[in-house]
Amino acid sequence: MTGYRHDDLDPRVVTDDGIVTAEELWDNLTYLQRAIVPAADEAGVKLALHPDDPPQPVIQHIARILISADAMERATRLCPGANAGITMCQATFAMMGEKVIDCIHRFGKQNRINLVHFRDVCGNRDDFHETFHDNGMTDMAACIRADLECGYDGYIRVDPGDFIFGDNDGVVIVPKKETVRVLEQAEEWFQNEKKSRQAMAEGIDPFTVYNTYGRF
């Protein structure tokens, strides 16, 4: 999630899922872990449980349980297994109010980090927005050092997922939420340019080509 404001939600709303308690979610997660962890160990598949983002205890009467380092550790212990681990989402741990570097060492030394989500934010769990690296509230270089100190050698997912294009004319940043629209428009322009070139190659005058396709 790239941004969140808790006050934007009406706390009186009850969704179609009704009221869901933390106890119910822990029961469900226990059932799930006991079912998939042994299978993952047998297949050699590493599981990487992501914390709740945002780490709010309740949103519109639906509890959220993976909202602290202690809760994440509890989740990994619901069913013993070598491959039962977590996603170390730095931004979410920061919004929990946890010390991110300490958490990396805590879970890294247990060999429970199976995926690193290299991401940062500004704000807290009630009001935050995603930032570029080094523009947020986390020491990103220190996080990498902590990963290495713990012997982490797995995958790292880098966010934000904004598209950054650069050439001699400069740099263009396409916000993640606009990616689909921009790519669709770019594809449309590309196709129109192909059609206009073909039309001009067939001898159609440039004025007509421009009026038809909007470009040469």
- What is the Cα–Cα distance from 105 to 7, expressed in whole angstroms? 34
Tokens linked to 136: 């947020």
Lookup result for tokens 């599981």: 47
Say yes or no: 157 and 171 in one domain.
no
Read off the pLDDT band of 188 (50, 70, 90): confident
- Please give the single-letter amino acid code of residue 67: I
Say yes or no: 153 and 172 in one domain.
no
Could you report the per-residue pLDDT of 79-129, keeping only the tens digit for each? 989 999 999 999 999 999 999 999 999 999 999 999 999 999 999 999 998
- What is the Cα–Cα distance from 36 to 76, expressed in whole angstroms? 12
DSSP labels for 164-185? EEEETTEEEEE-GGGHHHHHHH
Say yes or no: 54 and 107 in one domain.
yes
- Please give the single-letter amino acid code of residue 108: G
pTM of the model: 0.75
Domain end among 139, 161, 183: 161
Split into its structural domains, the chain has a count of: 2
Say yes or no: 149 and 181 in one domain.
no
- What is the Cα–Cα distance from 105 to 148, expressed in whole angstroms? 10
